[in-house]
């Protein structure tokens, strides 16, 4: 896992053709907006979250964020324990996000 600033996170993401953006916030938080093309998996779903993570392709890079960076760091650590080699945590999370946002 690597902790990246928004600038580094977005720059690396743009250059990575084998990547997934993963939002690990709650559904209530997602209603305030989501980074475009992100896949939502609520880390607070416990075993349900683990079951969904295990279905993901380990050959991809995962750019993970939450509200402020704590839960996404946890998600990256969990993913690393499950054999994911390329996980990137967005320092400051969605709270500090300055890029595009979509609303559902």
Query: Domains along the chain?
Result: 2-96 (3.40.250.10)
- Res. 16 pLDDT band, cuts 50 70 90: very high
- Res. 20 pLDDT band, cuts 50 70 90: very high
Give residue 39's Cα distance to chain centre: 8
Query: What is the layout of strands, in order, in the sheet containing 19-23?
Result: 2-4, 87-90, 61-65, 19-23, 39-40
How crowded is residue 32: how many other Cβ atoms within 10 Å of its Cβ? 11
Query: Model pTM?
Result: 0.96
Residue 10 vs residues 88, 97, 100: alpha-carbon distances, Å:
10, 10, 11
- Res. 104 pLDDT band, cuts 50 70 90: confident
pLDDT in tens, 39-72: 999 999 999 999 999 999 999 999 999 999 999 9
- Give the mean pLDDT of 16-22: 97
Q: Are 24 and 41 in contact (CB under 8 A)?
A: yes
Q: Which residues belong to the active site? A: 66
Which residues partner with 21 through β-bridges?
Answer: 63
- Give the mean pLDDT of 5-32: 96
């Amino acid at each position: 896992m690597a902790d990246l600033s928004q600038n580094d996170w977005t720059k690396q993401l743009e250059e990575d053709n084998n990547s997934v953006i993963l939002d690990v916030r709650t559904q209530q938080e997602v209603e305030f907006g989501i980074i475009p093309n992100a896949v939502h998996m609520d880390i607070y779903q416990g075993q349900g979250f683990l079951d969904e993570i295990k279905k993901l392709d380990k050959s991809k890079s995962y750019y993970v964020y939450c509200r402020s960076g704590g839960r996404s760091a946890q998600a990256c650590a969990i993913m690393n324990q499950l054999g994911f080699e390329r996980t990137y945590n967005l320092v400051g999370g969605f709270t500090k996000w300055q890029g595009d946002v979509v609303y559902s």
